Amino acid sequence: MKRVFRILAVIVFLAAPLGVARGETSVRVYVLKHKRVEEAALLIRPRLSEAASITLTQKLNAMTITDSAQKLEEIGKILAAFDVAPRGFTFAIKLVRARADVPAGSISQEIGGLGAKLKSLFQFNDYALIDSAVLRGVEGGKVEYMFGGEYLLTFTIRSAGEGPELLLAPFALARERKIEKGYPFLRPLYRASIPVTLSQTVVVGASKEEASKSALILILLAQEMPRADAEKGTAGAKAVEKVDKRP
């Protein structure tokens, strides 16, 4: 009998801390509308309790988290700020041909007040507009446009958070050429990563053309578009809660 009492005493001693540690937990399902659930999981994992569990359901773009109610409230706020519609931008771009092998002439009227800035940046005598366009895109998306029917510009919009800084990478310009049998061929002219600040004009000396005294210049102005979901007051991640109370 003495042995039995000793064993029971040990069992009670070990089980008591487990009941205290588990306490009251909740289960909450978060369904994301705009961002990938895998990216959200990487964001919130470091903020979960050690005993928490998380299950991803990629088909529904959802995650199920078991943790304390307080932790789940914090996670809900983090996901609401994270799961917002991508930022949209407009890019007003002008492609200019600069030449040094001609007499100094009047700068093309389409370039406007940028002519003086171009003269201060480059050593060319003449600047003429090839084409201009206003392009639209969202963060993470790719923008593509053919200027003047022969110059293909492509770039991907990479955002640095909610600030005014963007990174266009890769930012590439190529010239379309016709080869035998009329098939098109793209000749790369320029490729780089271009940092951009919203509402500030960026001037890029994109490339030298075949003639050594001729070059292409890109003039770019990026601006942010209003978020449609912000105007409508659309919420971020939706959450469905199930309370699991354990003594």
Q: Are residues 198 and 236 in the same domain?
A: no
Q: DSSP character for 104?
A: -
* Within-domain flag for 75: yes
The region of weakest confidence among 108-112, 114-118, 124-128 is 108-112
CA-to-CA distance for 175 and 208, rounded, in angstroms?
A: 12
For residues 26 and 97, membership in a common domain is answered with no
What is the model's pLDDT at position 110?
A: 53
Number of domains in the chain: 2
Q: What is the pLDDT of residue 182?
A: 66
Please indicate, yes or no, whether residues 111 and 215 belong to a single structural domain of this protein.
Answer: yes
Q: What is the largest CA-CA distance in the chain?
A: 113
Are 65 and 174 members of one domain?
no
Domain match, 55 and 94 both = no
Instruction: Assign residue 115 the CATH number of its domain.
Output: 2.40.160
Using alpha carbons, select from 110, 94, 103, 95 the residue that is nearest to residue 124.
103
Read off the pLDDT of residues 130-172 as tens digits, 9 standing for 90 and up: 999 999 999 889 999 999 999 999 999 987 566 789 999 999 9
Report the C-alpha gap between 78 and 55 in whole angstroms.
17
- Residue 125 sits in the same domain as residue 181: yes
Predicted TM-score of the model (pTM): 0.64
Provide the residue range defining the domain that includes 197.
Answer: 88-226
